[in-house]
Every structure is written in C-alpha cells, then in structure tokens.
Amino acid sequence: MNTKIIDFADAVLKANEQEKDRDAIFDVVVIPAVEEIIKEAGLVPMKFVVLDSSLQSFMERPITYKEEDDSFCTVYYDFWTSETVYRAECRVTINPKEVITETNLYRLEDYANGNREWLWFCDGTWEQGPGEDFFDVEEILSNRNR
C-alpha cells in the first residue's frame, strides 16, 4: 500500500467547494497516486480504465461525505488481459487541510478458469492477497465493454 498526504497549507476545503477543487484533487492527487503504484509493478498506466461508478461517486458526493472507515470514497482502475485482471484502488480521505490517499494494486490470474484468489502488490512483489472474491470479476470485465 502506498500512502500519500497532501497538505493544503493555507487553502482550506469547505463544504461549499468549487467544482474545480474536486477536479484538482483528482488530477493532482488521485491520478498520480494510481499511476505510481501501477508503474512500480512494471505495468502501463494508460492501459488501466477508471471504473465509471467510482469516478461518479468521487465527483458527486458532498465533500463532507464519510464512509464507515472515515474515507471519502475509493476510486478504482482496472486492466485485463485474457488471463489476468488487475485492479488499482485509491482510497481518498479528505480533511479540512489535507487529502490522504491509500493506494493498492491487486492481481487475479487465470480468472477465465474460475480462479478468484486475488494477489496484492506489496513492497515490489506480489503476495497472497485479500482472499477469494474480494472484487466482483464480472463487474470488472463488464467495464471493458464501455
């Protein structure tokens, strides 16, 4: 997992944020965090596609929204081949003076033959992951037709 904290210093996000504030957070914080972990794994960021529903949640939720874990939301990026599915996730927490991202990368090999055991990219290697059916493979694959 890669964790980044961006301090707003004098700028403070408020509940009455401007639309361009959200765009800036996405462009300056989320995208670089996702691209960094994808590159660390030796993959090409341009091959990953954002999951529309996660992007919509990021763009439309009130800036004060909190999940059960206190995060604002999680944005997902997917890439698939005929044998492997990859998913990058960027959990975003927005506080009044900072944005914190926690970014993870997962891999599911041999999904076409029924494997549902995800691996997790950690410290430069692929390790035993979060277990079976951690993500809905059918949802990920349906996103490739968009």
pLDDT tens for each residue of 45-82: 999 999 999 999 999 888 788 999 999 999 999 998 98
Residue 122: partners with Cβ closer than 8 Å, 6 or more residues away: 1
Residue 3: pLDDT over 70: no
Tell me how far apart the alpha carbons of residues 56 and 7 are, in angstroms, rounded to a whole number: 24
Confidence category of residue 4, pLDDT binned at 50, 70, 90: low
- In the chain, the amino acid numbered 122 is C
Which pLDDT score, from 0 to 100, does residue 67 have?
92
Most confident of 8-17, 41-50, 127-136: 41-50
Does the pLDDT at position 12 exceed 50?
Answer: no
CA distance 128 to 44: 22
Q: Which residues contact 83 (CB under 8 A, 6 or more apart)?
A: 109, 110, 111, 112
Q: Where are the domains of the chain?
A: 2-143
